Structure 1
Amino acid sequence: MPDGHAHGDGHTGPGHTHGVNAESDKRLLSAALALILAYMAGEVILGVLAHSIALISDAAHMLTDAASIVLALVAMRLAARPPRGGYTYGLNRTEILSAQANGITLLLLSAWLTYEAVRRLIHPPEVTGGLVLATAAAGVVINLAATWLIGRANRGSLNIEGVFQHIVTDLYAFVATGIAGLVVLLTGFARADAIASLIVVALMVKAGAGLVRDSGRIFLEAAPTGLVPDLIGRALADRPHVVEVHDLHIWQITSGMPAASAHVLVALGEDCHAVRADLECVLAEDYRISHTTLQVDHASEQFLTIERHCGESHGPSHRGK
């Protein structure tokens, strides 16, 4: 049996499916897009008539909602293309680009709305409370429907989760705007409109920062949340006949598609193929990592008396018991 063995199984991880599920997701997103576009057009007109920054900010947010859905649909179409040429993983990460773009637009929009809200706190315009309340109430209904549609899609995809965060934030915005309209209607306190907008801004910053952080972790090849490479390395090193596991890398290709690679040294005289199969089983069953590339070699006599097997370290080493 030769000492060097490398293996790549080519399987995609759990949750990374296209086909029927992807087509269903596209229909759900398209239906939500139609609802949002129809309502947004009316809200812009009513916001101008009511002199309400809260309504106009909601409409601006809905525009980003619509853009985020369009971007998500384009990303899904690109991600479904098979690997070819230099793109050996296909275009799966276009979905992560979409999620990051959604997060960035939320942050940029929140900066603009903060400026407008503060300006109107200092110089509050006259706000038509009844019109604001009625428009916000209709917006709550529209966004509940859109949230329900997108909530039925695969939120395990960071791409779809980005759209969902946009819509949920908009739902909160309409609730805050409705409360502001009621306050203005009952008390005449016009600054309630700007205060409601600032509450929405806080929600937008939270959602946007989360999307940028999560997509950034994928682009930086960080281990998926909940998977600790050191713990996994020790678990693999403790398997029968494993002398050492080093150069262990765990990352995500895209949402729901974790991957792992490692160099494994096996005790002299043991079956490298059997050890590799055992380690792949551990990764798949215990950590839901089925896209693996394991280089398996027999440990030499010289290795047993030296500290390091490779001339250059690419990560921590985990020695077997």
Structure 2
Amino acid sequence: MAHNHTHSHGHGHDHGHGEVFHSHAPVGKMKQAFLFTLFILVVEVIGGLFSHSLALLSDAGHVLTDIAAIGLSWFALKQAEKPSNQNMTFGYYRSGILAALINGITLILITIWILWEAYGRFQHPEPVQSTWMFVSAGVGLLINLYLGLGMRHEDDINVKSAVLHMLGDAAASAGVIVGGVIILLTKSSIVDPILSVCIALLIAFGAWRIVKQTTVILMEGTPQGIDFQKVVNEIKLVPNIKDVHDVHLWSITSGKNAMSCHVVLDGDMTIRDSQAILRDMEHRLIHLGIGHVTIQTEDCDHPHENSELCAAKEVHHHH
């Protein structure tokens, strides 16, 4: 994540630090994706009803979760643009994470529904008309590829989760088309529920990853790709820092990492000396992908727990 080394450290204490990681989220693209996906849903539901294809209907279920996903992502991107205020001092970034979490859970529920329906179909296979399957799935495939590939380079987890939906959808539509070909050739409709099970598992896999990642962020866990011990060691390398404790690492939203800690400095230092140390620390941490840093400086006599978390090497100071 540390992709901005041109940061100016020339002036006092720079509170603009975290903005290094602000992704210019594609609100317009999301809106376009939302409208297009709505169109796919209509086409696939009509196609699914006409062709009696569970694979198409489960794909439509997949698309419905996409609409939720994209709608929520779009809403969250709009929210994230709102400035922070006295009630929400971190701004509204977390709304995107909440959106992604709700997405993930809905997706898992839809998966269960598809599996249940498919189970019924295995017992009593229904005849499926494949022409409708081609047309509807073809529309879905093309639009999703266009949308997903158009946004695949975005960093925002919220946008990533939406793109994952789109590409998953494209894969599912492609599967439905292949299924249609097999049904045409073999005249056997059992392919349909088999396909819908595959689509369901595809949905569940993506959903589980989203749920896991968002839960870590909401639980204030150490951000993905950041090594706690490495951060602590880096701070200890700063000249004149005797010790560090009470270290907290978390993400405000994906890609916006924050940290707070207490550092022990030599008691005879002037404020100006300690400013130089703060700047040195901030500079090192930016390179590790942490943009928002809050540091409490203390002297050796300051009473505190002797640990980084509550599990670290004790440092005994001899006065």
State TM-score, norm by structure 2. Answer: 0.88
**One of 244, 260, 285 as aligned partner of 1:283:** 285
Residue in 1 that maps onto 2:295? 294
Unaligned runs of 5+ in 1: 1-6, 304-308
Structure 1 residues 266 and 317: alpha-carbon distance in aligned structure 2, compared to 1, 3 A threshold: farther
Structure 1 residues 93 and 167: alpha-carbon distance in aligned structure 2, compared to 1, 3 A threshold: same
Amino acid corresponding to residue 310 of structure 1 in structure 2: H
Amino acid corresponding to residue 36 of structure 2 in structure 1: L
CA distance in structure 2 between the aligned counterparts of 1:10 and 1:319, rounded to whole angstroms: 34
Check the 8 A contact 1:100/1:212 in 2, yes or no: yes
Check the 8 A contact 1:239/1:320 in 2, yes or no: no
Check the 8 A contact 1:253/1:259 in 2, yes or no: yes
Residue in 1 that maps onto 2:261? 262
| 1:24-63 paired onto structure 2 within 5 Å | 25-63=26-64
CA distance in structure 1 between the aligned counterparts of 2:112 and 2:306, rounded to whole angstroms: 46
| 1:83-94 paired onto structure 2 within 5 Å | 83-94=84-95
CA distance in structure 2 between the aligned counterparts of 1:88 and 1:134, rounded to whole angstroms: 50
Quote the offset at 1:9 in angstroms. 3.2
| 1:140-289 paired onto structure 2 within 5 Å | 140-151=141-152, 154=154, 156-270=155-269, 271-285=273-287, 287-289=288-290
Quote the offset at 1:269 in angstroms. 3.1
Residue in 2 that maps onto 1:4? none
SS in 2 for 1:84: coil
Quote the offset at 1:311 in angstroms. 4.9
Amino acid corresponding to residue 276 of structure 1 in structure 2: L
Higher relative contact order (CA 8 A, sep 6+): 1
Unaligned runs of 5+ in 2: 1-12
SS in 2 for 1:199: helix
Structure 1 residues 66 and 197: alpha-carbon distance in aligned structure 2, compared to 1, 3 A threshold: same
Quote the offset at 1:244 in angstroms. 0.5
Check the 8 A contact 2:93/2:253 in 1, yes or no: yes
Check the 8 A contact 2:58/2:200 in 1, yes or no: no
Quote the offset at 1:320 in angstroms. 7.8
CA distance in structure 1 between the aligned counterparts of 2:247 and 2:185, rounded to whole angstroms: 63
Quote the offset at 1:319 in angstroms. 6.6
CA distance in structure 2 between the aligned counterparts of 1:184 and 1:94, rounded to whole angstroms: 44
Check the 8 A contact 1:250/1:258 in 2, yes or no: yes
Structure 1 residues 194 and 76: alpha-carbon distance in aligned structure 2, compared to 1, 3 A threshold: same
CA distance in structure 2 between the aligned counterparts of 1:195 and 1:105, rounded to whole angstroms: 22
CA distance in structure 1 between the aligned counterparts of 2:27 and 2:84, rounded to whole angstroms: 21
CA distance in structure 1 between the aligned counterparts of 2:192 and 2:54, rounded to whole angstroms: 7
Quote the offset at 1:312 in angstroms. 8.2
> Cα deviation per residue 1:250-304 (whole Å; 9 max; x = unaligned)?
100111110011000013434322222211111112x02121000112223xx8x
Residue in 1 that maps onto 2:304? 310
State TM-score, norm by structure 1. Answer: 0.87
> Cα deviation per residue 1:188-233 (whole Å; 9 max; x = unaligned)?
1211011111111111111000000000010011111111112211
Residue in 2 that maps onto 1:79? 80
Query: Aligned pair count?
Result: 300
RMSD: 2.1
Amino acid corresponding to residue 143 of structure 2 in structure 1: I
